[in-house]
Amino acid sequence: MATSGDVKETELFTCAICLEQLKSPRSLPCLHTFCFQCISEYIQSSERRAGHKIANYTCPVCRSIVTPPNVDLDTTRWIESLPHNCTISSLMETTKEPNKQECHICKRKQKHSTSTKWCRDCGEAYCDECSESHNFIKPLMGHVLINIEHIQSKECGIDLGKFSDACPVHSSKVVEAYCFDHQKLCCVLCVTLQHRKCEDVQSIEDITSKTGENDTFEANLTKIQAATEQLLQEQNKEKVVVNKSLSSIENDVIDLVNIAKNKLDSLLVVFLKELKMIEENTESKLNSKLDLVEKLLNRINDFVRTTTFIRSYGSKTQLFIHIQNSKQDFNSEIEKAIMLLWQTTGLEASFLIENTLQNVMEMKSLGEVHVTEKCSKSDIKYEGLVSDYFRVPTSKMFDSVHLKRKKTVTLYGHVLTGGMCISDQTMVLCSHTLHKIIVVEISTGNIIAECVFSKNPKRLTYDTKNKTFYISFYGGFFYNVSFDQSFGKQTNIKKQSPYNGGVCIHDNHLYMVVGCEIMKMKLNQGGLLTTAFSASTDCTELNGLAIDFKSERLIHTTKDSHIVCSSLDGKKCFDYKDDQMKNVTSVTVNSRGLIFAGDETGIVHMLSDDGKHRKTLLDKCEKINRLCDIWLDKSEKTLFICGKDYVELYDISF
């Protein structure tokens, strides 16, 4: 009776197609159950033999006619909709004997015996009898047999049985090859049916006989491990600094409130509640980054620990399979990590004191707490490191960038040709019509300072260290003017042709497009502009020049609307142009190397840092008909576009 029962149970849990234990059991309307993969291949192969989509199929066991409920439904979707046999799945789980490893040889003989030895070289488990036979076979005498009890006694929690050499598609076959074109493990059937046209398919035996690839992957991951630990430390430091800043703000405000007790006591309660909400929100953002980094570090530590164990006790095939599977897992996890780092940039807390704080009786609030988001250098460095090692596709990050209109600042009577932000609250603009540069409050559009010239300004940049603007003008003129709350002395640096164009500053050097050259000048040395390198530029109209601080490169536009990236000494990195770019007038680059390009027609393009991908972020401005310049704010969360009497602001989302 027991034997009969065992047979029935075995038949119940066996797929009639592959004759192996059911995996993801799916049932046909006739109630016969098969592995999902097996019935899927059976139905699809029936369709392939017919050469077209067919209306009905036959059950592989009883030959009953099976008809999809909707003839228009895609075959793949219909297969996926086949019901799970939950009863079979539950019974299989109930009867499963945990932590029992069967002898592979006995299993092939349709016998059942518990294994006691594991062969690292064969990658199989043997019972006592089969292990003795194994040792007498001359080619196998050099193989290393390990007591399974010894493996199970290890406290690492790693089960070598999970690193199976079974094909993930055809469970009855073993993995024998790897397709580098698709990065897939393959059995003979996989190679024959799905990878016949692939150019780079190699046997695992050939791959594992070589050295280097696994070691390289481990070495890269070791570097990532060290970088992740460092990033975690830096994030913890950032959290401490921000919390200290917020605590300092709280203490400062409390001191102010204690001075003016009567009116300020009531406002203090309101302020502390607002501060607490900001503190909790900030804490949440920082904790999400910390959690992500900690999880990634734990995942890496698990990988290192598992790899060390498999290298000691497993086979080369298992090591290879483990590493290839881990590559895909890490690519996915690191993509998620980078996306979250993009969405949650570094934070910086400050407190803006209300100007009317002294007029206590007229006050409506104590002030505002500004938590300024900034691009963290440690995040960017880490992103670059993991992207290089794991070849994270640029296009995935690239495609996630979008623009959303925020507001429009109107300045009637000005023809705005260039601009930039010098703080989170203010921007500086070139007014072509009125021969001046103006400092504008972003929130209100009010002009808070201006500097008049005798020429028409074109482009400008700001030396933050020395508090000086450098302005290029139409007609070949080039000025600087000091600015610290108000404008000071003007100095004419250049007053003759050729004409000037875009201008930017990097590492105490100024770079400017002059005629058909990129010229440079060392700041505060009383020097002159000298040629850095020649370029296909023309400064009779507007053009763009920007610094890619991430890679220390120059990005400039040409007279034919190409976007050219070059080293600081003129070595060309890439030259991009396509039919969608009509007349590019301006460029700006964020700290991740993404290039934003403004087209005179009102279109905003974006290029990847390698110059291989382009997308249209904005196909039309709201009010600007002729786009003249674009730039980013300090946090790189907002893109500014100017033209004629308007500056349009767009939020950048990832």
User: What digits encode the pLDDT tens for the residues 335-344?
Assistant: 777 776 666 5
Higher pLDDT, 191 or 205: 191
Q: Of residues 428 and 376, which shows the higher confidence score?
A: 428
Residue 529 gets which letter from DSSP? -
Q: Count Cα neighbours of 343 within 13 Å in the Cβ-side half-sphere.
A: 13
- Give per-residue pLDDT as tens, 271-314: 788 888 888 888 887 787 788 778 878 888 888 888 888 888 88
Tell me the percentage of the chain whose pLDDT exceeds 90. Answer: 29
User: Given pLDDT bands bounded at 50, 70 and 90, which one contains residue 3?
Assistant: very low
Name beta bridge partners: 482.
468
pLDDT of 427 > 50? The answer is yes
SS3 79: helix
Query: Which of the 8 DSSP states describes residue 375?
Result: -
pLDDT at 651: 94
Are the beta carbons of 556 and 587 closer than 8 angstroms?
yes
Question: Considering only 73-82, 257-266, 605-614, which range has the smallest mean pLDDT?
Answer: 257-266
The one-letter amino acid at 499: Y
Question: What is the pLDDT at residue 478?
Answer: 93
Across the range 443-457, mean pLDDT stands at 93
Reported as a pLDDT band with limits 50, 70 and 90, residue 263 is low
Amino acid symbol at 400 = S
Alpha-carbon distances, residue 225 vs 218, 381, 396 (angstroms): 10, 14, 23
Which residue would you say has higher pLDDT here, 112 or 96? 112
Q: Which two tokens stand for residue 94?
A: 């109930």
Report how far Cα 252 is from the mean position of its chain's Cα atoms. 39
Residue with tokens 């990050």: 397
Across 168-177, 195-204, 536-545, least confident range: 168-177
What percentage of the chain reaches a pLDDT higher than 70?
84
3-state secondary structure (DSSP) of residue 288? helix
Q: Write down the pTM of the prediction.
A: 0.55
- pLDDT reading at 361 higher than 80: no
Contact criterion met (CB below 8 Å) for 616 and 584: no
Q: Determine which of 217-226, 305-314, 535-544 has the lowest per-residue pLDDT on average.
A: 217-226
pLDDT of residue 535: 93
Tokens standing for residue 316: 């080369």
Is residue 100 scored above 70 in pLDDT?
no
pLDDT at residue 486 tops 80: yes
pLDDT above 60 for 96: no
Which backbone phi and psi does 320 adopt, to 5 degrees? -65, -45
Q: How far apart are CA 520 and CA 529, in angstroms?
A: 5
C-alpha–C-alpha distance, residues 302 and 317, integer Å = 19
pLDDT in tens, 46-77: 887 777 778 788 888 888 888 887 777 777 78
User: For residues 340 and 513, which has the higher predicted lDDT (pLDDT)?
Assistant: 513
Amino acid identity at 530 = T
Residue 9 has pLDDT above 60, yes or no: no
User: Contact 179/168 with Cβ under 8 angstroms?
Assistant: no
What tokens appear for 539 in the block?
């400064």
> pLDDT category, 151, cuts 50, 70, 90?
low
Residue-level pLDDT at 376: 62
pLDDT at residue 440 above 50? yes
Average pLDDT over residues 603-623: 92
pLDDT of amino acid 173: 80
- Choose the weakest-confidence range: 164-173, 540-549, 577-586: 164-173
Sort 465 into a burial class: Cβ within 10 Å, 0-12 / 13-18 / 19+: exposed
122-136, 157-171, 398-412: which has the minimum mean pLDDT? Answer: 157-171
Q: Which comes out higher in pLDDT, residue 97 or 74?
A: 74
**Burial grade of 174 (CB within 10 A; 0-12, 13-18, 19 or more):** middle
Q: At residue 406, does pLDDT exceed 90?
A: yes
Distance CA 506, CA 548 (A): 9
The pLDDT of 235-241, averaged and rounded, is: 83
Burial class (CB in 10 A: 0-12, 13-18, 19+), 58: middle
* pLDDT of 319: 83
pLDDT at res. 355 = 58
Q: What's the whole-number average pLDDT of the chain?
A: 82
Q: Which residues lie below 8 Å from residue 102, measured CB to CB, with a gap of 6+?
A: 112, 113, 114, 115, 125
DSSP β-bridge partners for residue 509? 506, 522
Q: Can you tell me whether residue 565 is helix, strand or coil? A: strand
Highest mean pLDDT among 143-152, 174-183, 428-437: 428-437
Model confidence at 4: pLDDT above 50: no
User: Model confidence at 379, in pLDDT bands (50, 70, 90)?
Assistant: low
Structural domains in the chain plus CATH codes: 1-96 (3.30.40.10), 154-209 (3.30.160.60), 213-393 (no CATH), 403-653 (2.130.10.10)
- Residue 368 burial (CB count, 10 A): 13
> Measured between alpha carbons, how far is residue 506 from residues 127, 369, 399 in Å?
71, 32, 29
**Whole-angstrom distance, CA of residue 501 vs CA of residue 491:** 18
Average pLDDT over residues 452-481: 92
